């Protein structure tokens, strides 16, 4: 599976240090108004979401996944749905074309997430 968009979470207090580390590696990054540090290199986009803003009170905690020998905590499907619902709410009143397009993209992903169900275990 080819992935070009990765969403991670960290403390917003770490954004300045993370930005310095990205800059040192020549990775273009930008602090976005929706509490996200966005990094881009070639065709890959990585968004570091503020744990303090986006991860508060998510349902059902996290799952664990191992990628390339590294262990990550992964938001559960109900948690992911809630994150996208919050994103829809946050972008609902956007007037400019770029943010309106973001709202439409979030709405499509949210609809797809709501149609998914995975067995437990």
User: Can you list the domains of the chain with their CATH numbers?
Assistant: 1-56 (3.10.180.10), 58-121 (no CATH)
Q: What per-residue confidence (pLDDT) applies to 119?
A: 62
**Secondary structure of residue 24 in the 3-state scheme:** helix
The whole-angstrom separation of Cα 8 and Cα 30 is 15
Q: Residue 102 above 60 pLDDT? A: yes
**pLDDT confidence of residue 26:** 94
pLDDT of residue 40: 93
pLDDT interval class at 121 (50, 70, 90) = low
Q: In what order do the strands lie in the sheet with 36-41?
A: 5-10, 44-50, 36-41, 28-32
pLDDT in tens, 36-76: 999 999 999 999 999 899 888 887 667 788 888 888 888 88
82: region left, alpha or beta (phi > 0 left; psi from -120 to 50 alpha): alpha
pTM of structure? 0.71
Per-residue pLDDT of 65-91, as tens digits, reads 888 888 888 888 888 899 899 989 988
C-alpha 49, offset from chain centre = 6
Average model confidence (pLDDT) across the chain = 86
């Amino acid at each position: 599976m080819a992935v070009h968009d990765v969403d991670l979470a960290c403390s917003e207090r770490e954004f300045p240090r993370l930005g310095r580390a990205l800059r040192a590696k020549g990775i273009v990054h930008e602090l976005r108004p929706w509490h996200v540090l966005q990094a881009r290199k070639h065709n890959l986009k990585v968004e570091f979401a503020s744990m303090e803003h986006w991860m508060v009170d998510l349902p059902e905690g996290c799952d664990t996944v191992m990628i390339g020998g590294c262990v990550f905590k992964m938001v559960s499907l109900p948690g992911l749905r809630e994150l996208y619902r919050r994103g829809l709410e946050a972008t609902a009143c956007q007037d400019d074309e770029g943010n309106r397009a973001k709202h439409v993209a979030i709405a499509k992903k949210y609809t797809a997430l709501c149609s998914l169900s995975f067995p437990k275990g």
